[in-house]
């Protein structure tokens, strides 16, 4: 692509204790890392990693514009995926969820979850992404190894219609012709090359944002992933673009 898609982002901070009332600077660090990863200005984008997937690093050309941050002191310290943080009764109601990406930053999610996302086609009222403050941004209350803002770009991939790179099944299909087959999710910092045992025994693209490795180890989308994400905007897409 050569044209930038602009996207409005509303950050809703449902804080419960001191650290979860994150600073504006922590929010801005997250938006900065997101825009870097979308536009190929992240440090790993330069062609120096010497893996065979270096030529498949693609710029999505999506830019997120931060709307004024909303905050509320809430009584819930740990939430389930029942979306109650998205309600005025217990959290913060979304801002124009038909066209604005709403993100709820919460103190904790049960089950050790860092974040979760509603996939395209779900109810408008619960559109958006929920993420814990420890995995949000690159400064402040963020905690290693999820301290480079990559949890949000992974979730944004889902929000923009991407599946996990292993296709959510053993050697599964992620609907992207330019990603290799993966046995399953990878974690931590994989050692290159990690070969799949799927058909053709390809080297797995563990550095892809849609795997589950540590933040330092994930840094790219492919051209097909970029096409799928961008197709969710505009005419015929799920979402309005500005």
Applying CB under 5 A, the span of 25-33, 71-79, 104-112, 192-200 interacting with Ca ion comes to 104-112
Residue 150's binding partner among Ca ion, ligand ARG, none (Cβ under 5 to 8 angstroms by kind) is: ligand ARG
Least distance to Ca ion from the beta carbon of 110, Å?
A: 12
155 among known catalytic residues: yes
CA 165, 171, 172, 175 torsion-angle sign = positive
Least distance to ligand ARG from the beta carbon of 111, Å?
A: 9
Active-site residue, selected from the candidate residues 44, 127, 134, 155: 155
Binder to Ca ion among 10, 12, 20, 225 (CB under 5 A)?
A: 20
Query: Is residue 185 within 8 Å of residue 164, measured between CB atoms?
Result: yes
Q: Tokens 């979860």 correspond to what residue?
A: 20
Closer residue to Ca ion, CB minimum distance, 69 or 241: 69
* d(C-alpha 207, C-alpha 191), whole Å: 10
Residue 151's binding partner among Ca ion, ligand ARG, none (Cβ under 5 to 8 angstroms by kind) is: ligand ARG
Query: Is residue 31 within 8 Å of residue 37, measured between CB atoms?
Result: no
Residue 133's binding partner among ligand ARG, Ca ion, none (Cβ under 5 to 8 angstroms by kind) is: Ca ion
Closer residue to ligand ARG, CB minimum distance, 168 or 240: 168
DSSP code of residue 68: P
Q: Alpha-carbon Rg of the chain, whole angstroms?
A: 17
Applying CB under 6 A, which residues contact ligand ARG? 113-116, 146, 150-151, 154, 212-215, 218
Chain-centroid distance of CA 159 in Å reads: 8
Helix axes 150-159, 24-39, angle to 10 degrees: 60
Residues identified as active-site = 155
Question: Where does this chain bind Ca ion (CB under 5 A)?
Answer: 20, 107, 133
């Amino acid at each position: 692509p050569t044209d930038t898609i602009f996207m409005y982002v509303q950050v809703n901070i449902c804080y419960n204790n001191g650290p979860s009332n994150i600073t504006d600077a922590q929010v801005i660090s997250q938006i900065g890392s997101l825009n870097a990863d979308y536009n190929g200005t992240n440090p790993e984008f330069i062609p120096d990693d010497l893996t065979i997937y270096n030529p498949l690093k693609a710029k999505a050309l999506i830019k997120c514009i931060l709307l004024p941050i909303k905050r509320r002191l809430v009584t819930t310290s740990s939430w389930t995926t029942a979306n109650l943080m998205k309600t005025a009764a217990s959290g913060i109601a979304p801002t124009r969820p038909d066209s604005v990406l709403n993100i709820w930053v919460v103190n904790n999610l049960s089950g050790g979850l860092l974040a979760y996302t509603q996939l395209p086609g779900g109810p408008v009222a619960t559109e958006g992404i929920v993420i814990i403050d420890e995995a949000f941004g690159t400064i402040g209350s963020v905690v290693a190894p999820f301290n480079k803002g990559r949890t949000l770009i992974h979730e944004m991939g889902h929000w923009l219609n991407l599946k996990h790179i292993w296709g959510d099944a053993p050697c599964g299909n992620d609907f992207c012709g330019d990603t290799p087959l993966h046995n399953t999710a990878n974690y931590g910092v994989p050692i290159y090359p990690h070969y799949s045992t799927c058909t053709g025994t390809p080297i797995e693209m563990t550095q892809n944002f849609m795997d589950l490795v540590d933040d330092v180890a994930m840094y790219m989308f492919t051209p097909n992933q970029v096409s799928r994400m961008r197709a969710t905007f505009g005419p015929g897409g799920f979402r309005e673009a500005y």
